A and B are shown apart, each in its own frame.
Chain A
Amino acid sequence: MSQTVAIIDYGSGNLRSAAKSFERAASELDSPSQIVVTSDPETVRRADRIVLPGVGAFADCRAGLDAVAGMVEVLEERVIGNGTPFLGICVGMQLMAGEGREKTVTRGLGWIGGAVVRLEPHGDLKVPHMGWNTLSFLRPHALLAGIPDGENGLHAYFVHSYHLAPSDPRTLIATADYGQAVTACVGRDNLFGTQFHPEKSQTLGLALIGNFLRWKP
């Protein structure tokens, strides 16, 4: 039985890269997955797994998501109501927060308590935090299984100036060190989000996407 993975198209994000990386990761699994890039809420409703990508400013992404009639309602129904496995990427992860404070204060989906705030690294480090960084896992998680962390671990590709500061420390899964503890992964129950771009993170990214496609939260 093939599973369907819906990557939500709401006018934001490098959807082609995301779709290709999911197709590649899926090709290495035993059971087939159908990867669908869609802006149709009904397709999302029927999907077995849901991915919310996103690049750009928080407010623009929120507006873009709201502009797709019925999409937020379907996400609430499927992800929060029915426990469908959900992966948010970059701003797609940030949108899970209570609010974003980039340029203006914007309400998020409110799935992970906390706010999206500007990075304030110590020293004269550059913002955006742009490039390859290693991760520190704060707690085990199925989506990080088999991925080495720490200074000698694999690298993830980041490009962002804001990050999600969760109010409940238990939802903080992994961080990256960049003059401060930068939020790299958040999650609870069937929700997971990465600040970095798994679709651009080569070995680490394909491993994480593969874990997501197998995930039974």
Chain B
Amino acid sequence: MLKTRLIPCLDVKDGRVVKGVQFVDLRDAGDPVEAAIAYDAAGADELCFLDITASHEGRDTIFDIVARTAEHCFMPVTVGGGIRKLEDIRKLLLSGADKVSINTAAVNDPDFVARAADKFGDQCIVVSVDARQRLTPRVGGDNRGEWEVFTHGGRTPTGLDAVEFAVRSVERGAGELLVTSMDRDGTKSGFDLALTRAIADAVHVPVVASGGVGSLDDLVAGVKEGHASAVLAASIFHFGTFTIAEAKAHLLKNGIAVRNDRALGTI
């Protein structure tokens, strides 16, 4: 059966991991490739690089990071941040990325998602839905109008309803949605479960829950209550609060099937 995916996310700025990864066996806690290799060995199901480099010149480093990661990690890699053109996607895929995550461009130019999906296939186009809860929801009942889409790393409000935007993105060809609560991001107070569930129940593609994980129970809730197909976290893994193995054991203990492959020699 298909397993629930556990995805560590690495924020990269000018070629370095921003939050710093506190693995014991890393020579350099800021090197994204070393962190990726460590997560690969630890049993992560996918890797997500989020490039938050501001300058155009600094952006080229992400291609090198993805390429070097692909030399060592034989697992799926998603890359997001600053993707504006089909050429950006092609370069990332040729570097070794499997999926790209599109946020601002999906809002500013909705047709971009359609063109990207036509060109590279739905399976590699992830639309990143960064949302905040509205102070005064516009409509009641089905939760529509309760969350607003933000762009530019959560700084720019768009006026768009998050659930509506998610549904439209899938219609245009997104093969997966990365749903991040900007209210919860970095707070360790758990996913916005209502947001995650409202979107997961409204679309037929997998939803990755993101933003706010502080405990292993949060991961369980993302799947059971948020209806997510995959759960993404950053801080709890980077800072060594929990290991990938501990997180998977906890999911399993709570009845959520996970992948626990061992090396062939040890079977």
Query: With a CB–CB cut-off of 8 A, which chain A residues contact B16?
Result: none
Residue A57, interface by CB 8 Å: yes
Q: Are A205 and B5 closer than 8 Å at their CB atoms?
A: no
How far is the CB of A134 from the nearest CB of chain B, in Å? Answer: 7
How far is the CB of A61 from the nearest CB of chain B, in Å? Answer: 9
Q: Which of A14, A60, A126, A177 contacts B98 (CB 8 A)?
A: A14
Query: With a CB–CB cut-off of 8 A, which chain B residues contact A133?
Result: 1-3
How far is the CB of B79 from the nearest CB of chain A, in Å? Answer: 12
A14 to B204 Cα, complex, angstroms? 25
Q: Are A207 and B76 closer than 8 Å at their CB atoms?
A: no
Q: Are A130 and B120 closer than 8 Å at their CB atoms?
A: no
Residue B198, interface by CB 8 Å: no
Q: Please list the residues of chain A having a beta carbon within 8 angstroms of any beta carbon in chain B.
A: 14-17, 20-21, 24, 55-57, 60, 91, 125-134, 146-148, 151, 154-155, 157-161, 176-178, 197, 199-207
Query: With a CB–CB cut-off of 8 A, which chain A residues contact B230?
Result: 131
Count of chain B residues with Cβ under 8 Å from any Cβ of A?
A: 40
Residue B267, interface by CB 8 Å: yes
Q: Are B98 and A131 closer than 8 Å at their CB atoms?
A: no
Q: Please list the residues of chain B having a beta carbon within 8 angstroms of any beta carbon in chain A.
A: 1-5, 40, 45, 67, 70-71, 74-76, 93-99, 118-124, 175-176, 204-206, 229-230, 259, 261-264, 267
Q: Which of B97, B206, B259, B263 contacts A130 (CB 8 A)?
A: B206
Q: Are B45 and A131 closer than 8 Å at their CB atoms?
A: yes
Query: With a CB–CB cut-off of 8 A, which chain A residues contact B5?
Result: 131-132
- Nearest B residue (CB) for A146: B264
A159-B98 contact given A127-B204, A154-B261, CB 8 Å threshold? yes
- Determine chain B's interface SS by DSSP, over half rule: loop
A and B contact pairs by CB, cutoff 8 A, 30 listed: A14-B97, A16-B70, A55-B120, A56-B119, A57-B118, A128-B123, A128-B205, A130-B123, A130-B229, A131-B5, A131-B229, A131-B230, A132-B5, A132-B259, A133-B1, A133-B2, A133-B3, A148-B267, A154-B261, A155-B261, A158-B2, A159-B98, A159-B99, A161-B122, A200-B75, A202-B40, A202-B75, A203-B264, A205-B74, A206-B74
Q: Which of A128, A154, A177 contacts B175 (CB 8 A)?
A: A128
A20-B45 contact given A128-B122, A133-B1, A154-B261, CB 8 Å threshold? no
A159 to B76 Cα, complex, angstroms? 10
How far is the CB of B209 from the nearest CB of chain A, in Å? Answer: 14
Q: Are A126 and B204 closer than 8 Å at their CB atoms?
A: yes
Q: Are A203 and B261 closer than 8 Å at their CB atoms?
A: yes
Q: Are A151 and B70 closer than 8 Å at their CB atoms?
A: no
Query: With a CB–CB cut-off of 8 A, which chain A residues contact B118?
Result: 57, 60
Query: With a CB–CB cut-off of 8 A, which chain A residues contact B267?
Result: 148
Q: Are B229 and A160 closer than 8 Å at their CB atoms?
A: no
Query: With a CB–CB cut-off of 8 A, which chain A residues contact B120?
Result: 55-56
Q: Are B261 and A202 closer than 8 Å at their CB atoms?
A: yes
Q: Are B121 and A56 closer than 8 Å at their CB atoms?
A: yes
